[in-house]
Chains A and B, each alone.
Chain A
């Protein structure tokens, strides 16, 4: 019979591990995707709960795994709350926009309001997840006003847009400071020590590679375009988009403009994994709980490998899906062939088409969830080094679970989250 001192990992270990097997996660995701479709979406609350249980309980920090004890029914109730709030809001925005003379103003106001609500939702959803996260019998907690956060976030995003992304590092640092400053594990207060300037310096070369070609394109356009003539044409022609495409994109400067746009797009595509590596390392390395400090040694080669594998899976899936598509086209053609002109066969053809589309979209999403989201979670967890983890052993419990309203809003507004 086992004895006590042969048990488990050594106390005071400073490691973060991920124990979950990818095969189990594939099964969880595929089964979930099928049921989400079969229930027209209702099952997504159960799937989200299963996914979190799996990810949390397989993440081991200093010898103990996390625990997620949220319930799918809580998410469902949160969603219903959100619907109760959003339906009248959408209606009000639609009414004001349709009835008023200041259509653009009220539309913009509605957009700001929804943006504010989206950030509010993200903050409250984080609170829900934290208060459902248990470690060594003690829960995490988040305080702070979600409205204060939403206003801050919206102001920062406005600044990010105005500075073409240059404000992003400081925005992230400020918002993370707000979030982590209001986060605690039991009586152990959290904080964020990442520096916006540091992230700025790391990201600046990438910014030049992405925005530089755009600047060249815009400069070329403004130098070669006759704006008076263009505005006159716009005033005389209903086809605004057509005129703009003809005269700006395909205008005399197209030899410079199009390659610049292409270069910028290619830079985004090629640099995204590097960007993700840098921001993830920076974020993890800024996390603090009392005397516990995290650091990440995530390598960019690992992240590129994740995306390469994803691209490979997508290629294979595309081959399989096209083969299935060809078969379906033949089946539909046979169903709709001459002499088979009846409603049931048409319905069958429609159903086959929609089903194929749904399977393809769901397949892409599932592959992404496993090959990218799951892989990044695992990589990030394994990249963490803890200092001062001993402080985790004498934390006193505090806090209480919060409502799932934020989760519901996040779901209804479609602003994302795990």
Chain B
């Protein structure tokens, strides 16, 4: 075994030192002596035969523990490795071989590029989401047949209805069915008829009043509109209710249900698949999607308001009644974080509605008798189906039968 400094080494001023060599063909550990020449490293075995000449430019740093420089060759077909532990020798090699990226600057530059390109990709996704997707949805919607939209509406209707019917009223959940409610149903049909004639939709509307106390209404794809009992209670004139209905008819006419489905699918594609899954990323993606969805919804609601104003004018009603009922319904204290809410700033919406041309002496869409009948469309609940019955009865022990 070679020990100490070889006699011939004293002729050179360049650093040299011990190393471990693996030739890449076998796992044998070879103790070597490494010399720095003008162009690279010379690897000498204990018997002073040359095992390899490694030029500086092909040297590549490989992962190694602290204090060890593990070198490989970029032009090698096998995985030959040279390991240096002598700090003076490591310094001397790193100084001469630029490819070893001594300061790590080259690697840092790569990483910086990754980070910056990711920012650019994110910006591009947001821009595509804000501007691209709505335009794309507008172009795709005419290609989808109305019959598909009706099917979609029917498919979601059952789930939505059972989700809304939290009191398990079943048949009685829908108003206008009982004998004392038919007058109200006829009045509603007349109100809807006026709007529907004016709107000249390519599909027929189905307006359904349900027993929910919140003042609300919404449209499903395919022409089905749900109106809550609470909205009819809140409305003080047929035109107020008509304005809300016209807004929902706007959603139907502009096919906003399908638009939402398309935009949501597009967002899921943009933000779901492209980024993949990582810890905490879910929240960021959900936040980005929520912000974008609320920006779509602002646009969609604004357009439906404009549609309502136009339709009410055409049907001979008061286009501003929608603004009046909106102002009454939406109290300022429960608005929460508006960027995340479905409906744009109510004040902005009311201002936009009121910017419409002042109506010249309109008459209400329904006469007083019809209006009072419509207000009664949700009569008292049938006996035994009173709200507040509580949770379903428990099975009382073995052999007991439940009572309805």
Contacts and interface: CB of A to CB of B under 8 A. Distances in A.
B75 interface: no
- B interface, how many residues as a size bin? 35 or more
Interface stretch (A1-9, A269-277, A317-325): A1-9
Contacts of B1: 4-5
B395 A411 contact: no
Contacts of A236: 404
Nearest to A41: B278
Interface in A217-271: 224-226, 229-230, 232-233, 236-239, 242-243, 246-247, 250-252
Contacts of A36: 278-281
Interface stretch (B111-119, B217-225, B234-242): B111-119
A43 B79 contact: no
Given A4-B2, A224-B398, A64 B31 contact: no
Contacts of B78: 137, 397
B338 A343 contact: yes
Given A68-B63, A229-B400, A40 B29 contact: no
A5 B3 contact: yes
Contact of B339 (A56, A350, A365): A350
B19 to A, nearest CB: 8
Interface stretch (B133-141, B193-201, B269-277, B318-326): B269-277
Residue of A2, A139, A246, A394 with most chain B CB atoms under a 10 A cut-off: A2
A362 B284 contact: no
Nearest to A247: B395
Contact of A226 (B5, B63, B399): B399
Given A4-B46, A393-B28, A67 B62 contact: yes
A37 B22 contact: no
B118 A233 contact: no
B401 interface: yes
Interface residues of A, number: 88
A393 B29 contact: yes
Given A19-B65, A350-B340, A41 B399 contact: no
B-side binding surface: helix, strand, loop or mixed?
loop
B342 interface: no
Nearest to B62: A67
B391 interface: yes
A394 B276 contact: no
B193 to A, nearest CB: 34
Given A41-B276, A343-B338, A350-B337, A233 B65 contact: no
Interface stretch (A107-115, A279-287, A353-361): A353-361
B90 to A, nearest CB: 12
A42 interface: yes
A136 B3 CA distance: 23
B121 interface: yes
Interface string B244-288: 000000000000000000000000000001111111110111010
B29 A64 contact: yes
A69 B28 CA distance: 20
B79 A134 contact: yes
Q: Which 4 A-B pairs have the closest CB atoms?
A: A137-B22, A39-B118, A53-B63, A136-B27
Interface of A: 1-8, 11, 19-20, 24, 33, 35-44, 46, 53-54, 56-58, 60, 63-65, 67-69, 79, 83, 86-87, 134-139, 186, 224-226, 229-230, 232-233, 236-239, 242-243, 246-247, 250-252, 336, 343, 346-347, 349-351, 354, 357-359, 361-362, 365, 392-397, 411-412, 414
Interface of B: 1-5, 16-18, 20, 22-29, 31-33, 46, 62-66, 68, 70, 72, 78-81, 85-86, 111, 114-115, 117-119, 121-122, 162, 165, 168, 273-281, 283-285, 287, 291, 337-340, 391-392, 394-402, 404
